[in-house]
Amino acid sequence: MDAAQRKRLVGLLFKGATAHGWRTDPWTTARIAELIRHKFSIEYHRDHIGRLLHNLGWSVQKPERRALERDEEAIARWKQKDWPRIRKTLRGWAPT
């Protein structure tokens, strides 16, 4: 890919995967390879997409998996109140 095509690819990636017909938004190397094949008629193996993205200044990232019911305030209280007590207990614990 030349510089103009790479610049256009970055613009396409910023639109998100759903803008290009996928049901979910995370980009995968297979999706990016397919996008490049469709938009630029250039075949890339999905294993080489990582190198291409690295050259563009992008990095691999995984979305965090968190429950929708997660209560951040309760977690903060637990860390502040309960965790120090539990941690202290474990230090003195020994098998009988």
Q: What is the pLDDT of residues 54-77, one digit of tens each?
A: 999 988 777 778 888 889 999 999
Q: How far apart are CA 8 and CA 23, in angstroms?
A: 22
pLDDT of residue 41: 95
Q: Is 9 exposed, middle or buried (0-12, 13-18, 19+ CB in 10 A)?
A: buried
Q: How far apart are CA 72 and CA 86, in angstroms?
A: 20
Nearest-Å Rg of the Cα atoms of the chain is 23
Q: What angle do CA 42, 58, 35 make, to 5 degrees?
A: 30
Answer positive or negative: Cα dihedral of 44, 16, 60, 3: positive
Query: In this predicted model, what pLDDT tens digit does every residue of 15-57 receive, in sequence order?
Result: 999 999 999 988 999 999 999 999 999 999 988 999 999 999 9
